[in-house]
Structure 1
Amino acid sequence: MDTRSAIIEAAATLLAQSPSGDVSTRAVCEAAGVQQPVLYRLFGDKDGLLTATVDHVWDQYLGAKRAAEKSEDPLRDLRAGWDSHTAFALAHPNAYKLMFAPALRSVPEAAEEALRILREVLERLAAQGRLRMAPDAAARMVMTANTGVALSLITRPTLYPDASLSVLVRDAIHRAILLDPVADTTAHDARTAAATTLLSSLDELTPQPFTPAESGLLEQWLTQISKSDPTD
């Protein structure tokens, strides 16, 4: 194991064991068997070390998501993704809190990858005509809600003692972003579903029937339709 990895491993272990959710660079250096100048040379400062440590811990979680086989039903994958997210937060509360801590000056790469993986699942739902809004907007709704529930469970356990709250919020958010083929029969719902479905498959058209300029204009129109307010 190289020096950088050894420092990150030491920081991750101390972070997981910390009652306060914080670690000192001195303690990390002692655990890794290096001098503090080495840590600062590799990470710049404590903020850089914590960002790298969060990415390391989250990479184990995201690695499982990368390796997971897609099921035939993207909704099943969407639900499983929410549940695994909450489970990870409960198992690694300190690393989870750091991921979303405003104190970190740089956004850990893992945060962006988690959102990208979620968006891919939602794009599959859009391609099936099951999404009532653009995948990007839906991804941000789901991630915001999932993060909020997870942070509530790990930071205020006395106020939120029942982890089943996560499932209740999950299902409510999914109802908000997904179309019910039986209940949702309005013209607006139909237009939105059609627009998001076509948007999700534009890049897959072979051969491309439009010029780049035409594709850009069509994408703009479809995006406007998918975001339109039924009261307009």
Structure 2
Amino acid sequence: MGMDDSSSEKSIISLGAWLQSPAGNYVRDWEQARLEELTADIFGFNATQIGLPQIETLRGSRMPHTWLTDTNLPADGHDNEKRPLVVIQEFEELPFETASIDLVLLPHVLEFAEEPHQVLREVERVLIPEGQVIICGFNPWSLWGARQALGRMIDAHFLPEEGEFIGLPRMRDWLKLLNMEVGNGIFGCYAPPFESEQWLKRCAFMESAGANGWPVFGAVYIVQAIKRIKAMRLIGPAWKTKKAPAAAGVPATNKIHRQRVR
């Protein structure tokens, strides 16, 4: 993507600010509702959200230990007892032990990371076997994706310009390369990219119509994947019992046959 660490950090901060806008609230409300449903049925002990604290991805989780992992210090008024924070230098290097976390949430972090593949590799490393990752992303094959592409051409950006939309098929391929079992994904937010809350509400009827008629064209998607460990098979020493050599000049099969007919 060609971004340095500072530009990557600034762009995701800009996305956090955008989430306070009417369009951002629209996306945040849909994602939080879906994530609350998904995480309620995932059991374990340790779960973390990486980045973008404006979206409460673990609001429905029943795990006893949940926290936020972010590159920024908490805002004023942050309740660290209710939502503990781990501050890191970069998303590409997580300060957790290998195979120590049951669930990782990535809300739009990959779209603004300098090395999204490395972020995913780190997530795979820290997940326990059968651990899960849930990713939120903007869909490039939507009206919002088209609006973002047009904004780059005319220098009138709808979302922070540094973000790179990653389509669901591409995201699924990345996860499969890490031996993750990937779900189908769910799409949402079918209203056009309006900046007005009034117009977004007028298009509320498009949610059910889009989900039934053109589901893959939602503005955002959520995809879930499970870390699978291939079954290992113990292989013993390659010891073989030596067979007695066949008589010189007589094939072994012929010798056996002669012994049987005597």
TM range (shorter): under 0.3
Q: Specify which structure has the higher proportion of strand.
A: 2
Larger Rg: 2
Q: TM-score, normalised by structure 2?
A: 0.24
Q: TM-score, normalised by structure 1?
A: 0.26
Q: Specify which structure has the higher proportion of helix.
A: 1
